[in-house]
Amino acid sequence: MTKFAEDFQGASEEKAFDLDHRRIINFNIGRYHTAVERGLSKLVNLEASKRKAHVIKWKVMENLDKLLPEFEANFQRRGGKVIWANDAEEATEEILKIVRRSGAKTVIKSKSMTTEEIHLNEFLEEHHIESIESDLGEYIVQLLGQKPYHIVTPAMHLSKEDIAKLFHEKFGTPPDATPEQLTLKARELLREKYTSADIGITGANFLIADTGSISLTENEGNARLSTTFPKIHIAIAGIEKLIPSISDLDLFLPLLSTHGTGQNLTVYNTILGGPRQEGETDGPEEMYVILLDNGRTELLAHKEQRQGLYCIRCGACLNACPVYKNVGGHTYQTTYSGPIGSVITPHFKGMEEFKHLSYASSLCGKCTEVCPVKIDIHKMLLLNRRDAVKEGLSPKAETLGWKGWKRAMLKRSWMDMVGGKMKNLILKTFFKKSWGKYRDMPEVAEKSFSKQWKEGRGKR
C-alpha cells in the first residue's frame, strides 16, 4: 500500500467520525441541494441538454488536434500569446519567465483549480513573489495555509464561526462578526491589491475555438478585477476546456451554473479575447494563455476513460457522493477530489500511487446521474480498477486470494469442503482488519445452500 493510500484511509476514518465536520458539511451541501433542485426545475428538457453537451465534448476530444491550433491562431490574431506546457514544471517556469521579464513583484489571482493543480502559489512564494487569492473562499483557505476543500466552494468545510475567528486573529475584526461584515473586511483588504498588482492570473472555464477567446464565470467580480487593472493577464487552462463555438456557451453556461450553485446564470460571465485593443479603455497590455497538458493526453489515450475529460468542473458529483460527504475533500490529497477526481487523478498523477481513489466509492451511480455532461463516472471508476489489476498493481496476497476464490467457486465440492464454522474462523482471522473495525463480519451458514437443498429434497 502506498503512502497516499495509507494517509487516505487514516484521514477518512478520522473525518467519518468527526461529528462537527459532518454537521458543517451536511448543512452546506443541504443548502446546495435545495438551490440546485430549484435551479434545475427551470430548465426545459434537461436530459436533452445534457445529451447535447456530452456529444459536443465528445466531438472536442475527437478533434483536439484541429481545435487547439484553431484556438491558438484566433487568439494570436488579436495580439494574444499562447504557451504550450507539457507539465506543471513547464507551466510554472513559463510564468516565472513572464514575471522576471516584466519585473513584477505582486500577483493577484482569481479562483482557478488549474493553478492549484500546478501548485502555483507555493512556486511563486519560493521565488519571493507575492501571490494573493482574490476569491473569498480561496482567500480564506490561503490564510489558513490549506488547500481548497471543494472544486466550487473552497471553504465548504468551515462554518461562519470558524471564519469569524480566523478574521479576528488575522485582522482584529469582532469575534462574532457577521458574514456581511467579514465580506466587507475582505473587500477592504483586497481592493488595494487589485490596483497595485503587476500581474493578474486566472483560469478559464471554457476555451472558445472559433473566436480565440476564454470564458470566465464567477459570482464575486474578482476575476474581472484581476484581468482589468494589472498590465499583464495570464490565463492557465487544461487543453480539455475547449468548446468549438461561442454559441455553445448558450448551453454550457446554464448547465454549469445550475449544477454548480443552483443559479440560472452566475453573476459575472466574461469573454476575453486578447490584450487591450486600440480604442479600448481597460484591459491588460499583454495577455497569455497557457495550455496545460499535465497528464491529459495520457487520459485521452484511454478510449474508454477519456470521458473524464468532458468534465466542466461544476462539483455536482462531489455533492452527490456519499463517500465525499463523509470523508471530505482534504482526505483525497489531490487537486480534484470526489468521484471525478478519483477518475482522472490516477491518469494525471500515476495509477500506482492513486489507484486507491477508484476504490473509494460505493458505485451507487449518483455521480453519473447528476453529471451535466453525462460522464459515466461510476463505470470509469470500475475501468480504473480493472486497469490497476491489469498493470499488476494489486498486492500479491489479494491476487492469490482472488485466484483461490475463483477456483473454489468453479467447483462445488471445493466450496463445500470447508464447513461454515471453519469459514467464519478464516474470515475473522484473515479478513477482519480489511473488512473494517466498525463493521461486523458476515456470518456464513453452517451448511451451504447446496447441502440444504439436497437435504430438503430428500425429505420429500
Q: Which three cell numbers stand for residue 343?
A: 477518475
Each residue's pLDDT tens digit, 105-151: 999 999 999 999 999 999 999 999 999 999 999 999 999 999 999 99
Contact of 387 with 357, CB cutoff 8 Å: no
- Asked if the structure places residue 346 within a domain, the reply is no
Q: Which residues pair with 232 in a beta bridge?
A: 199, 286
Q: Are residues 108 and 238 in the same domain?
A: yes
- Which residues, given as ranges, of the chain have pLDDT below 50? none
Do 285 and 434 belong to one domain? no
pLDDT at residue 422, rounded to an integer:
84
The pLDDT of residue 8 is 94
> Of 294, 325, 345, which residue is a domain's last?
294
* Pairing mode of beta strands 213-218, 268-272: antiparallel
**Residue 238 sits in a domain of what CATH number?**
3.40.50.10420
Q: Do residues 420 and 278 both lie within one domain?
A: no
Domain tally, the chain: 2
> What is the per-residue burial (b if ≥16 Cβ within 10 Å, else e) of 415-447?
eeeeeeeebbeeeeeeeeeeeeeeeeeeebeee
**Is residue 26 one of the residues assigned to a domain?**
no
Specify if 336 maps to a domain: no
Residues sharing a CB contact under 8 Å with residue 417, sequence separation 6 or more, in sequence order: none
Tell which of 253, 272, 294 closes a domain: 294
Which domain covers residue 268, as residue numbers? 43-294
CA distance 241 to 150: 19
Q: Are residues 73 and 219 in the same domain?
A: yes
Contact 155, 328 (CB under 8 A): no
CA-closest candidate to residue 370, choices 87, 33, 23: 33
Residue 160 inside a domain? The answer is yes
Q: In this predicted structure, what is the pLDDT of residue 460?
A: 58
For 278, which DSSP code?
T
Among 279, 294, 309, where does a domain finish? 294
Q: What are phi and psi of 213, to 5 degrees?
A: -125, 165
Is position 386 within any domain? Answer: no
- pLDDT of amino acid 281: 85
Q: What is the pLDDT of residue 394?
A: 84
Predicted structure pTM score: 0.91
138 CB neighbour count, 10 Å cutoff: 22
DSSP class of residue 301?
Answer: T
Q: Note whether 428 and 288 are same-domain residues.
A: no
Angle among Cα 451, 457, 459 to the nearest 5 degrees reads 105
In a domain, 23, yes or no: no
Does 318 reside within a domain? no
What are residue 238's DSSP bridge partners?
Answer: 292
Assigned domain for 226 exists: yes
C-alpha cell at 114: 488549474
